[in-house]
Amino acid sequence: MNPCARHLKLHACIASALIAAGCASGPGKPPVVAGPPSGNDTSVFCEAESTEMTIQVGSVFSDGTLVRDFYTGNTARVREGQVTMAPGDGAEGLLLLESVDTAKGQFTWAGATVYFAVTDRFANGTTRNDLNYGRRTDGKDEIGTFHGGDFAGLTQKLDYLSELGVSALWITPPFEQMHGWVGGGDRGDFQHYGYHGYYALDFTVPDANFGTREEFRTLVQEAHERGIRVVMDVVMNHPGYSTLQDMQTFGFGSLFEGFEKHLPAQWGDWQPESWENFHAYHALIDYDHPDWRNWWGKDWVRAGIADYDTPANASVDPQRGSLAFLPDFKTEAEQAVDLPVFLRNKETSRSRQLDNATVRDYLITWLTDWVREFGVDGFRVDTAKHVEPEAWLALKQEAQAALDDYRSRNPDTELPADEFWMVAEVFPHSVRKTAYFDAGFDAVINFDFQEEARAGAQCLPAMESVYSDYAGKLHGADNFNVLSYISSHDTRLFSQLAGNDSALQKRAAAALMLTPGAVQVFYGDESGRAFGPTGSDPHQGTRSDMNWRAIENGEVSAILEHWQKLGKFRERHPAIGAGEHRLISQRPYVFSRTNGDERVVIAFGRK
């Protein structure tokens, strides 16, 4: 097979794989599934009761205790083990009972509320950084382009997050991304930039579209002042793709001889002909040319080009395979490597040659430098099963050392957490304790909950078996933690499952916020953010712009205010996530959560 035919075939494979690569953390994720989730009875919507309920609370609060409904502020005194109260207007039948004398509980990651924001799509704090490195808008649906969200925008919205009871802010990777684009979706029907942060070019500096180092520092400091921890998304499995724009800017790789005439002066401005799509530019590139050594180099990645090693089949060898044809870092390699040529020549990079350092050593140094300089509190680790456990354990140890170093150099700066926190993305992990907890991880993302949440939104008592099961596993003798969610950037939005039913989107707050363990709120869960333009990649629409206009116009006030009440109640009582679950009665549906002296009772009345 001649080289051109070889690479046309290779990139036809890339085209078909990019439906997976289109998602932020990339391949191996489930497709969007239409219709209700399996395994739940989603056909019954129980109407909430707003009249008085008599609730048995004697197992939690002693007679004479004055209890308060957090939702309304109304109080009642326990008599003969009971209280009688009515849910407030808009409470969806909920009573959130606490002792009036109870102080706010002490934070624990076991009961954390983590707010996940895709930086580029959340809030545009300043328009001066909206386009950099020769990037463009497409003037169409802007499916895979940069939208302007930045560190400044996140900082401006921290008070909004505080009102939601958020204890940690998870942001997508802040690193400088590949400057150009690749063809998006399986049809190559849009330009896909690294707006989501998972296509890193340089791990040592922030992407100019997201902001400056000082703006990142301000974000972390301002979050800490509000008691909000900052969890940074990190990737050690892969960097970003090569792009025409980066080939021209950094002088790596090569076109076929004479093919430069098919490109504009700025290669990243290339457009397909009417019969082509955005994957077609690959036919111009000579992937066998020796100048690919000026990119990451064969000692750093497997890429199947030039003299680089060919990755394994990822389904057979997940740690040495390539995910959606992304270059695969050789994190398992034991030999020392030099800094890649393009980084040596990149004037804006903070990367430096390290003595006797492996690929893993470089990556860990680059990632933990963000902790050492800015005081980042935790990492959400992308594609964890595709990197050897030893690398994650080393990352955790070095991150903790970096946080300790930051604390020693900033003795007057109060950090909300003493211990560095790491949570793993391992598709399709559920609520079980696995070897990942021996590899430095404090929690693992729970992919099961999204399939269980719709039934709970329709009728909260449907969650009883889930709550009981989760609490029993997470807070048993061999305790561990998971991070549960109802929406994500790699699966679906709850608004899709709910069919844009505002009542279900509102009631989903209780299903999620009352769940044992840590929970993740994906930006816009609390405001009914709608699915956006998606092209031939079903994941892109989950990263639509945050619906600030609807919030500011009061269009979603009922949904948002309900989420705020439940979020603040959860923040006030970590026992909701970290405590023992006990069913008190089925109708009304009443249960308690207790953790030491901290105790609450939740009741739901239904007609």
> What are the beta bridge partners of residue 98?
68
Cα angle 72-77-78, degrees, rounded to a multiple of 5: 115
Contact status, residue 138 vs residue 145, Cβ threshold 8 Å: yes
Burial annotation 226-240 (CB, 10 A radius, 16+ → b, else e): eebbbbbbbbbbbbb
User: How many Cα atoms sit within 13 Å of 472 on the Cβ side?
Assistant: 8
What is the SS3 assignment for 184?
Answer: strand
Contact status, residue 206 vs residue 176, Cβ threshold 8 Å: yes
> What are the beta bridge partners of residue 170?
116, 231
d(CA 460, CA 581): 15
What is the SS3 assignment for 409?
Answer: helix
Contact status, residue 220 vs residue 385, Cβ threshold 8 Å: no
What is the SS3 assignment for 224?
Answer: helix
As a dihedral over the C-alpha atoms of residue 258, residue 274, residue 15, residue 147, rounded to 10 degrees, the angle is: 100
- DSSP per-residue letters across 192-260: E-STTS-SEEEEEEE-TTT--HHHHHHHHHHHHHTT-EEEEEE--S--PPP-HHHHHHHT-S-BPTTGG
Cis omega (within 30 of 0) for bond into 272: no
d(CA 111, CA 579): 8
d(CA 127, CA 428): 38
- Which residues of 229-293 form beta strands (DSSP E)? 229-234
**Two structure tokens written together for 386:** 């595709």
- DSSP per-residue letters across 427-476: TT--SS--GGGGTT-SEEEESSTHHHHHHHHH-GGGGHHHHHHHHHHHTS
**Residue 493: count of CB within 10 angstroms of its CB:** 27
Q: What are phi and psi of 128, to 5 degrees?
A: -70, -20
Identify which of 115, 92, 174, 85 has the alpha carbon closest to the alpha carbon of residue 376: 174
d(CA 326, CA 305): 12
**Two structure tokens written together for 592:** 């308690």
d(CA 593, CA 601): 7
Q: Which residues are catalytic?
A: 382, 425
Q: In which element (H, E) is residue 390 found?
A: helix 389-409
d(CA 249, CA 239): 17
What is the SS3 assignment for 325?
Answer: coil
What is the SS3 assignment for 421?
Answer: strand
Q: Which residues, at least 6 apart from 17, have a Cβ–Cβ distance to it below 8 Å?
A: 27, 324, 325
